[in-house]
Amino acid sequence: MAVSFEFFPPKTDEQRLQLDRTVEKLKVFSPRFVSVTFGAGGSTLSYTPETVARLRDHHQLDAAPHLSCVGGTRDEIRSLLERYQAMGCRRIVALRGDLPSGMGALGELRYAEDLVRLIREEFGNAFHVEVGAYPEVHPQADDAVADLRHFVSKMKAGADSAITQYFYNADAYFRFVEEARAAGVSQPIIPGIMPISNYTQLRRFSEGCGAEIPRWLGKRLQAFGDDAESLRAYAADAVAALCRRLQEGGAPELHFYTLNLAKPTLAVLERLR
């Protein structure tokens, strides 16, 4: 099974060392690519390009920058794409993103569909374009039908593949893929996997992004209390079981949200071995 990893751009020397250590441990799994997020929490300050360069030049990995269109102008986005092209990037993760703190306007490109279309119109097939997908519905969508319609529009605008938000209910993924296929989407839809090391942090993330923690899983993780070691072992078993079911159901790849930590992802991958 092919794998890929997501990292976030470090901002301090200590964080950069942490990322290097994590990458050294994970790249033994020969990821098909790695992605680098575009700032954190809507921050206007992004270290994405320098992190992409580090992953490409030092670690020899196919690094794909996340590119957020909200709040930016067409010229700014075009300039960034030209910079990535000059760096040798051949893959982009195209997202709408969050409006940067303190900014009140969405910008010239309002949706990821608009960004995908700009890339295709001005850069042709220079980039493999990934977009986001939400098996459990985007938290800002009016309803599931509207959300699927927006996803289909992104794919028809020229996306090559999609990476989903993380989830712990495999049926949600399979249902989403089935509905997307029925709507004419033929491109790969890669499940996003979030290993678990801290239940409080996971619950906070999930509330913000609309990912559901199944009741059975949440109650079980909660029951471990301060026993972090047992929680991590149980969580790795649960996430590995999810990955196996996805593999058996035909998922094309697994994309791990690492949070720049090696151990939680390694624990899952070692179980899958």
Of 166, 233, 193, 211, the closest CA to residue 3 belongs to 193
| 6 in catalytic set | yes
Q: Which of 6, 130, 136, 253 is labelled catalytic?
A: 6
Cα separation, 188 vs 159, whole angstroms: 10
* Pairs from 240-243 (Cβ < 8 Å, separation ≥ 24): 240/268, 240/271, 240/272, 242/168, 242/170, 242/193, 243/1, 243/193, 243/268, 243/272
Closest CA to 162 of 31, 99, 251: 251
Which residues are bridge partners to 162 per DSSP?
131, 189
Contact 210, 139 (CB under 8 A): yes
**Cα–Cα dist 34/162, whole Å:** 14
As annotated, the active-site residues are 6
